[in-house]
Amino acid sequence: MELIQRARRLRETDAIRRMTRETRLSSDSLILPFFIKEGKDIKTPISSMDGHFHYSPDRINEAVEEAMEHGVEKFLLFGIPEEKDPVGTQAFHEEGVVQQGIRAIKEKFPEAFVIADTCMCEYTSHGHCGILCGQGVDNDATIEYIAKTALAQVEAGADMVAPSDMMDGRVGAIRRLLDEKGHKHTSIMSYAAKYSSSFYGPFREAAGSAPSFGNRKQYQMDYHNRREALKECHQDIKEGADILIIKPALSYLDIIREVKDTTNVPIAAYNVSGEFAMVKAAAKAGLIDEYGVMCESAVSMFRAGSDILITYFAKELADAIKRGDIG
């Protein structure tokens, strides 16, 4: 058979396959989430998320040190307070649990890059992401509290804030307040296209953030919609977002690709708790190769256009990159 072009020539050896890869990963692009629980001397397993723990602020650096040994230096912090109220006071309190965690990390590991999740669902007694008005969330009242929360996190030492509430106008409100208070160089990584998804279950158990009534479909996106994601992303850029998050990741690779193609800011994919837990459960049942599926899934997110990956597999992926199995 006379063939001038043979695609298999570039697959013959490991060396040539690695040389000609189109998608390359780096541990520099990985972000590992942590759950910080108010109290002392806490390190307790999260039953829904194998291998992950609740840490109190005085023990969070155990997790940071371990992650950095794997080559992961960027962290996204979620907080679980002891007390909750209707307006989520502990989210923006100077001594709020995430603020305690930020200070603890920065004191011991100033080189760590700390991102604070900026939302209210973990802090409100009703579990919704904002201030209630009847049975709904009042958008405009909420963004004032979201901006105050971002400011408290930055003043505690956060390098970046990540508003995840999906209120209209919250990126602009955060940007204005941070600028007004002298934090013009602090960046915003916005959960720009956050879908109302069934993949969040393990996280809600870990963060204690399930709503006490109703659901979040009033403010999180309908998963049938594609063009709406582009509208949300472009609006957040106009308001001052520096990085955009698409959440979840695996079922939304098309959204990642479109946002990548139509914007000029870095794109982060959030490989969420349900995606993580499904891989773990299937592997435990002997149905899949956990390591192989983890690697393949992560590459798919970067191949779709992600520049950054928020993932509970961050340490394992960093190790896989070092070994040359991906990257």
176-211 residue pLDDT tens: 999 999 999 999 999 999 999 999 989 878 767 777
Mean pLDDT, the chain, whole residue set: 95
Known catalytic residue: 247? yes
Q: What is the mean pLDDT of residues 253-262?
A: 98
Alpha carbon distance 277, 283 (integer Å):
10
* pLDDT value of residue 237: 98
Is the pLDDT confidence value at 212 over 70? no
**Model confidence, pTM:** 0.95
Token pair listed for 16: 């040539």
* pLDDT value of residue 276: 97
Is the pLDDT confidence value at 266 over 80? yes
Higher model confidence: residue 215 or residue 316?
316
* pLDDT value of residue 175: 98
Is the pLDDT confidence value at 238 over 70? yes
- pLDDT digit string, tens, across residues 129-177: 888 888 888 999 999 999 999 999 999 999 999 999 999 999 999 999 9
CB-based contact 266:308 (threshold 8 Å): yes
Is the pLDDT confidence value at 11 over 80? yes
Higher model confidence: residue 207 or residue 46?
46
* pLDDT value of residue 133: 84
CB-based contact 177:144 (threshold 8 Å): no
Q: How big is the chain by its Cα radius of gyration, in Å?
A: 20
Q: Please list the helix, strand and coil fractions of the chain in percent, rounded to the nearest 5, in that order.
A: 45, 20, 40
Is the pLDDT confidence value at 7 over 70? yes
Is the pLDDT confidence value at 283 over 80? yes
Q: Pick the closest to residue 57 from 83, 85, 78 (CA basis).
A: 78
- pLDDT digit string, tens, across residues 66-115: 999 999 999 999 999 999 998 899 999 999 999 999 999 999 999 999 99
* pLDDT value of residue 135: 84
* pLDDT value of residue 71: 98
Confidence of residue 214 (pLDDT cuts 50, 70, 90): low
157 phi-psi bin (left φ>0, alpha ψ -120 to 50, beta other): left
Q: For each of the domains in the chain, give its residue range(s) and CATH number, in order of start.
A: 25-323 (3.20.20.70)
* pLDDT value of residue 72: 98
Token pair listed for 105: 């990390």
Contacts of 204 by beta carbon, 8 Å cutoff, 6+ apart: 210
Enclosing H/E stretch for 141: helix 139-156
Alpha carbon distance 170, 232 (integer Å):
12
Is the pLDDT confidence value at 311 over 90? yes
Contacts of 112 by beta carbon, 8 Å cutoff, 6+ apart: 64, 68, 73, 74, 75, 105, 106
b/e 242-260 (16+ beta carbons within 10 angstroms → b): bbbbbbbbbebbebbbbbb
Q: What is the mean pLDDT of residues 54-77?
A: 98
Catalytic residue among 37, 74, 84, 194: 194
Q: What percent of the chain lies above the pLDDT cut of 70?
A: 99
Catalytic residue among 247, 260, 280, 315: 247
* pLDDT value of residue 210: 73
Known catalytic residue: 106? no
